[in-house]
Chain A
Amino acid sequence: MPAPRLARRTFLKGLGGVTVGLPLLEEMLPGPTLAAPASAAVPVRAFNVFFGLGIPAPLQAEGLSGVLEPLQPLSDKLLLMRNVDHIRADANGINAHFDGATAAFTAEAPNGEAKAGGPSIDQVVRQAWHPDGLPTGMVPTLVSGTFFRRSRVGRFVHSYNANGTVAAAMQERPRDVFDRVFGVVAFDGVKNARQLRIKRSVLDSVLSEYRYFTGARSPLGIASRARITDHLERIREFEQRAFTLKDTPREGAPGPTRPRPSKLQHGGAADPGGQGIDIQLDDLVAEWRLMADLYALSIEMDRVRFGSITFLAAGERLRVKGAYEYAGRSIYSFDDARDLNASGDMGCSHEWWHKFSPGKQNEQLRAHAHMKMREVAYLLHKLDQIQDANGRSVLENSLLTVSTESGDGRHNDSKRELSGVFHAITSAQGRFKTGQIMDIGQEGLDVYNTMLAAMGCQRRLGPVDREPTLVDQILW
């Protein structure tokens, strides 16, 4: 690929190794200016794609012939990484699903049920490239997903701010995504220019207050000020939509249309006390695809450049029913409660992961994992169909990181929950190798920091005093 390639060869010349000290690593990797895309018309984008329950390491070893088969058509545009460990993220041992889920894209242990140990990849890239906010009219971060289990936020949100708090509220229904990206806000009861002028005056004074509390004389500490800054940004977005984006598509208007209400359960009803719910495969797939379509459309219209999308929560509990086919052949007929001969949580597909054994066929787990890969691939295909100004697809130009929770890595290393966690990334305009399956054998933290460095970010994840390792083999 024609770069903006990392000047790795230049900098590494004579080093004779891939492990370097932090200052050197900082020096050798370009900042946003150096790493600017070849075409200024192609924006920097970063998205995290999460799927629940993972892929046990032994199944990853089967390459693209097993549960990863749906990724085969896109394999030239993906780098599949095996043997990536989140060793520092499983120390807390609160819950393997939860720990693993918050480690995805942050490589750190959670710092609370709704707080990651640090920022996620997409947010570090966003901050590096847009320290003063995104261009007018854009959604700063789009966090969306289809999930049901919601006992801890870390199970389903996958974009985190620098202080570990969630980067944006979860949009869990197709309509939510649509409204968040394309919705128009309006002032209630405003009927004429006079009333609008008064509303404008009210908003101005509100804005001045938020500016004060984010400014030099603010009495607030860093975290609180960041929260007020978020609030200020949202008011500006509100202002923008209320006063400027009046031609945004609405229901019935040409362009994207507001989707119908979701058929699936959402909110508290989606998680009756961790007991799981019954769901028809067709309904689930239909919603997944609608969400993927909307997310792709948001990117295509350049309303969104950063964020995450979730395909089921970590430790998801669903009793799925329905026939699953792929490429014209029947893979499995799901009926988890029947197969498990149980109701409630004990009848959920989650149990197949608990029953996983490398020596067994693991038929149901394979079918579920395969099915999820098909849906992840659907999103990737969508992004591959959108052309950027440089003639390449959004998939090729963006940094997409696909990952999951523990992947039942416990069977890869009996002392470690979060070993061998599945990862796949895209080339991000030629920064990373694709078309390969690599055995990385490194910490996720080093992989992520290498990715961030290649994306031109100065910020590094993880402890400051830790010596980083450049994961050289993933770079062009």
Chain B
Amino acid sequence: MNAPGTLLLRGSTLAACLLWWCAAPSQAAPSQAAPSQAAPSQAAPSQAAPSQAAPSAAGVARVSRDLVVLYDFGDCSGDIVRDRAGVGTPIDLKIEDLGMVQRRPGTLEVRGSTLISSLHPARHLTQKIKRSNAVTIEAWVQPSREKQSGPARIVTLSKDSTNRNFTLGQDGNKVDVRLRSLETSSNGLPSLAAQAGSFNTQLTHLIYTRDREGQARIWLNGKISASRKMTGRLSNWHRAMRLALGNEINKSRPWLGTYHLVAVYHRALSEKEVQQNYAAGAGATAPPLAVGKAQDPRETYFELEVAPIFANQCLECHDTFSRKGGLDLSKKMTASTGGDTGRAFIPGNAKDSLLWQLIEQDVMPHKRSPLSQRDKRVIEKWLNDGGVWTLQRLDPAVYVHGGRPDVNWLRRLTTFEYIETVRSLFGIDVTKEARALLPQEVRADGFSNTAYNLNVELKHIEAYQRLAGIIVQRVDIDAFRSRFKKRVTFTDKEMGDLIKKMGQTILRGPLENREVIAYRGIATTLAATEDSSIREATSAIIEAMLQSPRFLYRIERQQGDESVQPVDDFELAARMSYMIWGGPPDAKLFQAASRGELYDEVSILREADRMLQDGRAVIQAERFFVDWLHLSRLDYLQPSPEKFPHWNPRLADDMQRETIAFVREVIWRQNRPLSDLLNAQVTFVTPRLAAHYGLPLRSSDEVQNAEKLARYDLSNVQSRGGLLTQGSLLTVGGDEASMVTRGLLVMHELLRGVVKDPPPCVDTTPVPSKPGLSQRGIAEIRIANKTCAGCHARFEPLAYGLEKFDGVGGYHEKDEHGNALREDGQILFPGDAKTTVYHSTHQLMDVLARSERVQESMTWKLTQFALGRPLTAADAGALQEIHAKAQRRGGTYKATIGAIVSSELVTLIMTGEEQ
């Protein structure tokens, strides 16, 4: 607890305060006896009332979670009342007329009409409550008069006497609370009032709570005094409202009395928490504001501006592996040491830094495009400002997509998600129709669900309209409607009620009044149409909902104050369900969101674990692997008939099925770590594919059922085992089984390695093998060439272990020219100085499966798929935490998804400025 007298020692007023504080501790400040004697204990909070002498219970901490503003009046100087919540920009209040108040440490007495208000709208307060749809307003106050009217404003977030977000006031001898919502007026009426006579000139602990489901309560000294359900959402709260004490903003409703503490939270405190704050007492003060060490702007500059340039432009030649000129810029330690010619840079002096000189003269990057003028300016400024270097290691993979996500893109439902959403809501399968009508999604940045690329065309509009018609024709509308309301007539009330209940499920969250009115308009049209029926009206309303933005897109509140904020419960529920199932929240998840139960990691993980038991999670996992590994590519595989005369096009389908069945076995049935997909000794093949792979056929049954996948234990098959030995991935190298393409696949997808295109003036025409020269031999010649080695040595050896597999995944000991094929090689893990040697394909798979880098890459890929956007440097910290958490829980698919949905990348949103 903070001693008020030690807060500030400036000015005579303050000195007077301090003298007063020291001389008369028992008069109005918390008495020493009060905390334990007068205030109720935590165990029995309601048994004893706090003393009038402002109790403050030593050892009872106030609730701090989700606090937005806090005034403890500890500072009694000047005309400013400090917000000590420490959340965002403080909402300090200005006392308009100091002559009307008496300030003492820990209290503020309002003796006459004045206004104590924020100078600007309390936006972050409004935004947080609007977002959470819940609030707690708390005050320790002592009225000067038994009866005051207006209600007299104790705490108000308002604009004038008729427009407010909330007001906690005294109306006669009772507490009255007005709260604006979709169900109340802009004046917050009807209000909720405590019992008459319950509020007098005693020091009183007032709390008003309103939870997400609309349950509103007034608590007096820890006990419920009034309660009512007020279901309207708070989405109509106005951002222009100012926060004020002691009066309305237009000074028309003064309240006289003494404040000991005022606090506002953006959630409803539980009963236990209400009693905890009551027990903490009126004199409980805020802990000293956490004054963290302000980050040196030069550190941010390095991380967001300089590091990406080094990573993208310099590390190709100057990382731990290449170290051209003896210089390794990928590590802090080696970068500062310099290279063969000495120190690369002199902090604070660009002009004399070799690094700058070479960049300025366009000598560096060597054989690459010169740095842009902008990048040059960044380097020069960084050096002149001291060359601050914060990161221990620069990983180019982190910077591939820039420093931070550029903007929030709302996500349109993909075709898969649309189908799954309809299936979940209505129990019908529109796969065939949706695939035929909706344009195919286009891959971008490795996945087909990348939000920025989920555009909309005229064909979408037509398809959504037709699909909506198809859906309402196939659904038993009356049965569906009955789930929400048994009996309905065309009256506004009944139709509105149906729309609210049905819309909440279809649109994945509560409806606002304007939506109810809009959809009710359809019913009105029907009511005025001959031979209309409730069934027809319901159908038409559902059709409209199925074409609305709230159905087709995952709408989220993206506006705010440019800070990171929690997503609201329904948004979080939708994020979770589309990540885990590719579909909408079910009733349980929706209920958890409604009750505000998705507020911490434990509760989120509990729901996630439940959802991962559902079959939809398996399908969604398969979608991830199909998309990540681009298995749909196999639909169009066209190997050269000359080179592969025995190729059967159905093998391509068999290969896709093999990989999907394999994934299902390893990550679901066996629940093994994701990285085990690299070396699991099992597979599933048709007799056709078994023959293609050279695996033995085991029974006549299998031979006869040409389309059936059979499980093969590969423990004794040295050549195969793991994703990379399956035809679905081996075919990526084309007819020639390109080592470059296969190596790049391993590097990009499993190691998150980064290489650039070949520099200018390089003939990149692939070299064909010939007698005496296999593809391995060609690769080794290429790597022996200094010009090529810098990059090719990083990725081609990754494919050495696959040389025995031809372009369509067949296994051979010799190539078409009779050259013996090999399977030994070495891996260079990004960031390593030395390679790791392997002697066989089998060993290569084991090395990859054990690699932390590979495990981490799989976490990254799954996270990108879940978020629907490329990952940036700003995500790196959260990704590290996700990965660590997932690994602690076994590194499985389930563990990784759980870690993702409970991470800040999912529970928070970076808001943009309000328009």
Contacts and interface: CB of A to CB of B under 8 A. Distances in A.
* Same complex origin of A and B: yes
B368 interface: yes
A459 to B, nearest CB: 18
A18 to B, nearest CB: 19
Contacts of B409: 223-224, 227
Interface string B616-629: 00000000000000
Contacts of A112: 401, 444-445, 450, 452-453, 870
Contact of A354 (B410, B643, B764, B911): B764
A180 B459 CA distance: 8
Q: Is the interface of B mostly helix, strand, loop or mixed?
A: loop
Interface stretch (B254-262, B384-392, B514-522): B514-522
B633 interface: yes
Interface residues of A, number: 86
Contacts of B15: none
B367 to A, nearest CB: 7
A415 B453 contact: no
Interface string B522-566: 100110011000001000100110011110110111110000000
Contacts of B374: 463, 465-466
B442 A216 contact: no
Contacts of B632: 268
Given A115-B444, A228-B410, A275-B638, 12 more contacts: A96-B757, A113-B444, A153-B453, A187-B465, A198-B536, A198-B540, A202-B547, A205-B519, A209-B549, A210-B549, A410-B760, A415-B369
B763 interface: yes
Contacts of B766: 342, 345-346
A202 B915 contact: no
Interface of B: 312-313, 362, 367-375, 401-402, 406-410, 412, 439-440, 442-446, 450, 452-453, 455-462, 465-466, 469-470, 473, 514-515, 518-519, 521-522, 525-526, 529-530, 536, 540, 543-544, 547-550, 552-553, 555-559, 632-633, 635-640, 642-643, 731-732, 734-736, 741, 756-757, 760-761, 763-766, 768, 807, 870, 911-912, 915
B559 A220 contact: yes
A270 B440 CA distance: 14
B450 A206 contact: no
Contacts of A219: 555-559
Given A205-B544, A238-B465, A410-B761, A274 B734 contact: yes
A228 B551 CA distance: 13
A411 B369 CA distance: 13
B95 to A, nearest CB: 34
A114 interface: yes
A194 B457 contact: no
A475 interface: no
A93 B362 CA distance: 17
Contacts of B372: 87-88, 91
A415 B362 contact: yes
Given A187-B465, A273-B734, A208 B912 contact: no
Interface stretch (A41-49, A72-80, A161-169): A161-169
Contacts of A202: 522, 540, 543-544, 547
Interface of A: 87-88, 90-96, 111-115, 150, 152-153, 163, 165-166, 168-169, 180, 185, 187-189, 194, 197-198, 201-202, 204-206, 208-210, 212-213, 216, 218-225, 227-228, 230-231, 234-235, 237-238, 267-275, 277, 341-346, 351, 354-355, 410-411, 413-417, 463, 465-466
10 contacts: A111-B406, A168-B455, A201-B526, A219-B559, A220-B559, A228-B553, A230-B455, A231-B549, A343-B642, A413-B760
A345 B766 CA distance: 9
Contact of B549 (A152, A213, A411): A213
Q: Which of the listed residues B367, B401, B410, B530 has the most CB atoms from chain A within 10 Å of its own CB? A: B410
Contacts of B439: 169
B633 A168 contact: no
A235 B453 CA distance: 19
B452 A355 contact: no
Nearest to A275: B734
B558 A220 contact: yes
A218 B768 CA distance: 59
B469 A188 contact: yes
Contacts of A204: 521
Contacts of A410: 760-761
B760 A415 contact: yes
Contacts of B633: 268, 272-273
Nearest to B547: A206
A346 B453 contact: no
Contacts of A210: 548-549
Contact of B638 (A114, A150, A222, A277): A277
Contacts of A209: 515, 518, 548-550
Contacts of A466: 373-374
A194 B470 CA distance: 19
B456 A234 contact: yes
A111 B763 CA distance: 27
Contacts of B734: 273-275, 344-345
A93 B756 contact: yes
A402 B154 CA distance: 69
B915 to A, nearest CB: 7
Nearest to A186: B462
